[in-house]
Amino acid sequence: GAPIDLVFPKEGLGWDLEAFAIHKGTKKLDAAKKLADWASSKDAMLLYGKNFAITAQPGVAAPLVNVPKDYEARLVKMDFTVAADSRERVLAEWNQRYNAKSEPKK
């Protein structure tokens, strides 16, 4: 295939978040807790840092080839509390604008 160029706009980069959860009522709660503890450990962050420019523990991720050194500084400013508090309003507005476009056309 053709070479791929990665583009990182100086105007700002979007956020990509990873998450971990334990399902309520899981039959293996102790094992799930153990996995959750490991998934947030420094050892796990060192593994994640091989493929992600930013990890939950600052200073763990190594510089990645073809990713700008100022990657974190380029992320758009985000107040996650405001985003969470605005979730229902934003989803309602999104659905009002775009929901009709999400149904498959027959």
**Do 91 and 25 touch, CB atoms closer than 8 A?**
no
**Which residues lie closer than 8 Å to 26 by C-beta, 6 or more apart?**
32
Residue 76 tokens, joined: 């758009």
pTM over the 0.85 mark: no
Q: How confident is the model at residue 103 (pLDDT cuts 50, 70, 90)?
A: low
Q: How confident is the model at residue 25 (pLDDT cuts 50, 70, 90)?
A: very high
Would you list the domain boundaries of the chain? 29-101
pLDDT digits (tens, 9 = 90+) for 44-83: 999 999 999 999 998 888 899 889 999 999 999 999 999 9
Q: How far apart are CA 18 and CA 16, in angstroms?
A: 7
**Do 36 and 20 touch, CB atoms closer than 8 A?**
yes
